[in-house]
Amino acid sequence: MSDALLEIKNATKIYGGSGFMSKGNTTVALQDFNLNIQAKPATITTIAGESGSGKTTLANLVLGFIKITSGQVIYKGVDVATMDKRQLMEYRREVQAVFQDPYAVYNPFYRVKHIFDMVLKNFKLASSKEEGRALIEDALNVVGMRGEEVLEKYPHQLSGGQRQRMMVARAYMLKPRLIVADEPVSMVDASLRAMILDIMLRLRDEHNISFLYITHDLSTAYQIGDNIHLLYQGSVAERGNTVRVIENPKHPYVQMLIDSIPVPDPSVRWGGEEVTTLDDEQMRAMVESGCRFYNRCAFHMERCLTKAPPMYAVGGEAEKLTHEAACYLYDPEVEKVAA
């Protein structure tokens, strides 16, 4: 019996290619992805990467919204693909989602309380109306709201920040062990962003809820993340303790990203031509066997094209298991030859 809450083993998702017309038109959205979230203590694991790097694909795999091409998503020791009805029910209750645009989740014709009533009903959380109401109120309090302020309103009458906090409250009602939050703060302004990130930290510390926090923004990752996995075109370039990775990046791609951030500026994000080029999409198709960063890497070697680099431990002895980079620069065999 492992003490992992969630394990992802060699998860690969390839879009297209199943129909006879789609030959040659496939996208490897996620490749050989591995992750381990311990049951205790609760942690925030960040998945970071620029647009198109495979973050939402990973979220959708964990939430069971799309079918995995190969590999496994394992929850409390059981492969999600082999779960029976009861196990699936528990999984759907304990693993909740918060999305970038909470408006899309609400039905505009119903008052906001409807979304909470549905949760109470679908998961049979309360045996009386009063009990249900108390659960809703408790959940709203956790995100700093009160029922009388919001429940009778329609979704469009709430601010984006209120809608997002209510989605967190809705998730909280189910007493989840894990919340998959896909860019939860990228559509709200800076002050609300801080508030929502703070709620996440409190849920982690006071309610033992772990997060898979998905973002294209390294500064929020730095603020709240325990561990980070940096994706580049569907593959992990670097992973480890968030502070170590961001303060001392090892993969040439991650170094480039972080060097391009003027250090104390917390508002810097990805995007823009500098990092994303058209060539990348072509590279994604072309470099099936090698490192995806090859054509932009100042340090590339011949071997980078023949076989994608595995994860190598980087940093000192003490950091060994908590900081790794997928780059041949850190191949210990090569170091020996050079010495």
Q: How many helices (H) and strands (E) does the chain have?
A: 13, 12
Q: CB of 60: closest distance to ligand ADP in angstroms? A: 7
Work out the number of other CB atoms within 10 angstroms of the CB of residue 185. Answer: 24
Asked whether 245 and 236 are in contact (CB, 8 A), the reply is: no
Q: CB of 54: closest distance to Mg ion in angstroms? A: 9
Q: CB of 94: closest distance to Mg ion in angstroms? A: 23
Cα distance between residue 218 and residue 268, in whole Å: 8
Work out the number of other CB atoms within 10 angstroms of the CB of residue 180. Answer: 25
Nearer to ligand ADP, 151 or 308 (CB): 308
Location of structure tokens 């923004």:
217
Positive or negative, the CA dihedral 116, 118, 124, 130 is: positive
46, 53, 100, 255: which one contacts ligand ADP (CB under 6 A)? 53
| Amino acid at position 265, single letter | D
62 binding partner (options Mg ion, ligand ADP, none; Cβ < 5 to 8 Å by kind): none
Angle at 167 between CA 161 and CA 169, to 5 degrees: 105
- The mark string for 6-45 relative to Mg ion (x by CB under 5 A, - otherwise) is ----------------------------------------
Nearer to Mg ion, 29 or 258 (CB): 29
Cα distance between residue 168 and residue 97, in whole Å: 8
Nearer to ligand ADP, 53 or 235 (CB): 53
18, 22, 25, 51: which one contacts ligand ADP (CB under 6 A)? 51
35, 49, 249, 300: which one contacts ligand ADP (CB under 6 A)? 49
- Record the tokens describing residue 70, joined without a space: 């190969």
Q: CB of 83: closest distance to ligand ADP in angstroms? A: 24
Q: CB of 196: closest distance to ligand ADP in angstroms? A: 19
327 binding partner (options Mg ion, ligand ADP, none; Cβ < 5 to 8 Å by kind): none
Asked whether position 57 contacts ligand ADP by CB under 6 A, the answer is yes
- Record the tokens describing residue 129, joined without a space: 């109306």
Asked whether 44 and 220 are in contact (CB, 8 A), the reply is: no
Footprint on residues 42-61 left by Mg ion (CB under 5 A): 55-56
Work out the number of other CB atoms within 10 angstroms of the CB of residue 156. Answer: 9
Asked whether position 56 contacts ligand ADP by CB under 6 A, the answer is yes
Nearer to ligand ADP, 61 or 139 (CB): 61
Cα distance between residue 153 and residue 110, in whole Å: 9
Asked whether position 15 contacts ligand ADP by CB under 6 A, the answer is yes
Asked whether 221 and 16 are in contact (CB, 8 A), the reply is: no
54 binding partner (options Mg ion, ligand ADP, none; Cβ < 5 to 8 Å by kind): ligand ADP
Contact residues for Mg ion, defined by CB under 5 A: 55-56
Contact residues for ligand ADP, defined by CB under 6 A: 15-16, 27, 29, 49, 51-57
